[in-house]
Amino acid sequence: MDNIFQARFMPFTDDRKVVTAAADGQVRLGLLLENGHVETKRLGKHQGRVHNLAVEPGSPYILYSCSEDGFVQHYDLRSNSATKILCCSSFTENNKQSSSSVRLNSIVIDPRNPNYFAVGGSDEYARVYDIRMYQMEASHNTDRPINTFCPHHLIETHDVHITALAYSSSSELLVSYNDELIYLFQKNMGLGPSPLSSQGEDAKKLDEPQVYSGHRNSRTVKGVSFFGPGDEYVMSGSDCGRIFIWKKKGAKLVRLMVGDRHIVNQLAPHPYIPVLATCGIEKTIKLWTPSSKNVTPLPRDAQKIMEANKQGREDHSRATLTPDVIMHVLRMHRRQALAYVERRQTRGDIESDEDDGGEAYVLGFSDGDTEGASECSIS
């Protein structure tokens, strides 16, 4: 199996079941054995990379996956079944179903109402769906969001995309954009199911979302998350290798920590205690916990770091690509695609894609770099 993008423990079980999503499109269920091995079986398969999984709050059986193929799949571990419930498509002026799918990077479930889930991907709109509108037995379900969210200045810009979403315990929706900023939407800030029809004066009447800035989200796919017992903080990684933590209300930056020598990609808070896990380009996963009641000030070069991130974002937005550069990128992409197909064909000679069982070893990370992961302090 290719690189794992995400792993999720299933809640309210014996903590031995873990579901993983991978670059080859597979979603697999693993059982951690007493001898340190893992037995796995395939739950479903996408035709693109699977960046995100979402487990239904309070359920040990129900989860969702989204993929770059544009599909959202629904899983019930009691039946070991996978069902494609919708294919996310681009919006059109006449509100007709578009043939162009949206490559999905993130999916989250509203903890206050698990019937609602939101997805985000290769365009500027975060879409919210109601699972009750979809028939699990239907072979073709249409794309019917019940609401959409997007900052006013990004509507129809076509040069940004969403890398991550997060729901707070009060149903606020946090949206992180590639080479842009992070926005916090209240439920009353939605553009409705057809955002291209709600522009003009109606859109201008909506309140502006809270904005979190200072980081850089350009290279790789960045996550975003709430933190604290009441979701009092917002967290994100950055291309500069640092962890940014803002107060949710007012967006004041309160912590800036070195989390990776290169890039911090993902952050995951513990659901009950003040501990968070981060990962990036390095081989280590770092665990952070408060170790002092003293408030640590921001580093002296914090403003310089944020200005450098802002300048990099602005320079990138002004950059133009020449035809020679575009052709070079296309040739590289074609070579990578051919190499991927060749690897898949070679692998298919060794093992069948339809194999529903297997065994893997639990791998340890041991590059020895744990410096800077010992403490954090939040005011």
The per-residue pLDDT for range 328-350, each reduced to its tens digit, is: 566 666 776 676 666 666 655 44
Q: Which of 41, 12, 37, 11 has the alpha carbon at shortest distance from 26? A: 41
Per-residue pLDDT band for 182 (boundaries 50, 70, 90) equals: very high
Q: Which helix (H) or strand (E) holds 245?
A: strand 242-247
pLDDT tens sequence across 112-125: 999 999 999 999 99
pLDDT tens sequence across 258-298: 999 889 999 999 888 889 999 988 888 899 998 878 888 89
Whole-model pTM? Answer: 0.79
For residues 149-157, give the mean pLDDT.
Answer: 90
Could you tell me which residues come within 8 angstroms of residue 59 by beta carbon, excluding any fewer than 6 positions away?
A: 11, 12, 114
pLDDT value of residue 197: 77
Q: In a 3-state reduction of DSSP, which class is residue 29?
A: strand
Q: In a 3-state reduction of DSSP, which class is residue 84?
A: strand
Q: How far apart are CA 80 and CA 67, in angstroms?
A: 19
pLDDT value of residue 221: 84
Q: Which of 185, 74, 76, 69 has the alpha carbon at shortest distance from 131? A: 74
Q: How far apart are CA 165 and CA 102, in angstroms?
A: 15
